Amino acid sequence: MTINWTGFAKKTPEERRELLQGLPLSDQSSAILQADQQLPLAIANQMAEHVLGRFSLPFSLVPDVLVDGQLYHLPFVTEEPSVVAAASFASKIIKRSGGFTTTIHQRQMIGQVILYDVSDLEQARQNILAQKEDLLDLANQAYPSIVKRGGGARDLEVKTYQDQANFLAVFVKVDTQEAMGANMVNTMMEALKFPLEQISQAKSLMAILSNYATESLVTAKCAIDLRFLSRDKKEARHLADKLVLASQFAKIDPYRASTHNKGIFNGIDAASLALGNDWRAIEAGGHAYASRHGSYQGLTTWTYCPEKEQVLGELTLPMPAASKGGSIGLNPSVQLAHDILGNPDAKTLAKLLVSIGLAQNFAALKALVSTGIQSGHMKLHAKSLALLAGAEEHETGPLVQALLQEQHMNLATAQKILTDLRNNG
């Protein structure tokens, strides 16, 4: 059954939930959705330490994200106004332009065992490489269940660092299947510590996964028809040129690149959080990748194709997404998020996350090089101020309208207008 998303933004949460009943959700997910069921306290208490309670955030939906010819409805968890609206706006335009196309380059995680005080770095390197197969076997014996699932340690490399501490790092590539793999890789790396100390005649410093997941790169591309930038063709062409310039500037100026990339992660983090994924790991890998050329750069690239009259966007990121493991099976909202998406595998989740990052960047750049982001943001800011001032639902509309007329919009102004509205109403 296809869902008619027209007017989705204007519906109430109850009406939106009703509409989602058109998706093939499990009975359990339907119940979670209808009851707005939260994480049970007993489970929360197992997930982290010193738990006092639960902490709520808005759970939203970005409908109709077209990736590799298939439509997905992407759950978002974010406290930031305008992020969901921007992702939805961009996804709609990109869908009308043919959607995203993606490439999964590889899907392995990297673990490191770091040794120091290695007296003969080259000899240690050769000795370790000579025992590569035995070391991979040892890693796999430390986590046999991933081998049974078709994954496991696949390759091993050695890097030496000639300096005061004579460091040597062993990099192990692990196929973690549907999991992000932090715990399984860490278990494997710890099992290699002692054998590596013996082989290299050195001491181990640590054994841990690297979040710079360069063996899990994913590329998302889109080609946006010029007509979607503006109805006026000349203006649309002008905006396309400015979009390309914005992408170029983010490659040369880290102050801009940081904000450019923050916008990308507005979408990726919101979807990762909804999907119970380790968004800190995804962020860390993304920012390291942004620095891979020696300076911190914007992660997306936008160019203009005059023959097709299209703006071409591209984003490549390390994306260690997971459909299993961590807290994914524990949180009812996370289970619901996966079910809304149709329970895709980890590779599909990775494609979706990179695509939504590209969409979010398009929305931000389009606003920045045209009207600026404040016109949209201020409406949402006014709404937040109205809520903070204590407006009831029926008072929010008039208060927001009045606030938007003010030169300086702040909480004091909102409170004053609300008092006036109540006195006059």
Kindly list the residues in this chain that would bind ligand NDP in the complex (CB under 6 A): 145-146, 149, 177-184, 209, 211, 278, 281, 322, 324-326
CA dist., res. 266 & res. 347, Å (int): 21
Phi, psi of 310 (to 5 degrees): -135, 150
Spatial contact of 158 and 132, defined as CB atoms under 8 Å apart: no
CA angle 103, 109, 113 (to 5 degrees): 150
- Pick 144 or 390: Cβ nearer ligand NDP: 144
- Pick 319 or 400: Cβ nearer ligand NDP: 319
Q: Cβ of residue 171: shortest distance to ligand NDP, in angstroms?
A: 15
Q: Is 221 a catalytic residue?
A: no
Set 64, 175, 178, 278: catalytic member: 278
CA dist., res. 358 & res. 316, Å (int): 9
Residues 6 or more apart whose CB falls under 8 angstroms from that of 88 comprise 9, 62, 63
- Pick 107 or 351: Cβ nearer ligand NDP: 107
Alpha-carbon torsion, ordered 412, 414, 419, 425, to 10 deg: 170
- Pick 210 or 247: Cβ nearer ligand NDP: 210
Q: Cβ of residue 189: shortest distance to ligand NDP, in angstroms?
A: 11
CA dist., res. 61 & res. 85, Å (int): 10
Q: How many CB atoms lie within 10 A of CB 144?
A: 10
Q: Which residue has the tokens 């590209």?
A: 358
Set 36, 80, 155, 345: catalytic member: 80
Amino acid at 148: K
Set 238, 242, 262, 347: catalytic member: 262
Q: Cβ of residue 185: shortest distance to ligand NDP, in angstroms?
A: 7
Q: Which residue has the tokens 């932090």?
A: 182
Q: How many CB atoms lie within 10 A of CB 136?
A: 20
CA dist., res. 315 & res. 260, Å (int): 12
Amino acid at 56: S
The two structure tokens encoding residue 421: 């509205």
Beta bridge partners of 305: 310
**Max CA-CA distance within the chain?**
86
For the stretch 203-216, what's the b/e string if a residue is b when 16 or more beta carbons lie within 10 angstroms of its beta carbon?
Answer: ebbebebbbbbbbb
- Pick 105 or 280: Cβ nearer ligand NDP: 280
Q: Is 134 a catalytic residue?
A: no
Q: Is 137 a catalytic residue?
A: no
Q: Cβ of residue 148: shortest distance to ligand NDP, in angstroms?
A: 7
CA dist., res. 242 & res. 367, Å (int): 11
Set 377, 379, 383, 416: catalytic member: 377
Q: Cβ of residue 84: shortest distance to ligand NDP, in angstroms?
A: 24
CA dist., res. 109 & res. 217, Å (int): 10
Report the length, in residues, of the chain.
425
Q: Cβ of residue 284: shortest distance to ligand NDP, in angstroms?
A: 7
HSE on the CB side for 7, CA within 13 Å? 5
Q: Is 238 a catalytic residue?
A: no
- Pick 63 or 325: Cβ nearer ligand NDP: 325
- Pick 99 or 325: Cβ nearer ligand NDP: 325
Q: Cβ of residue 51: shortest distance to ligand NDP, in angstroms?
A: 16
Q: Would you name the residues annotated as active-site residues?
A: 80, 262, 278, 377
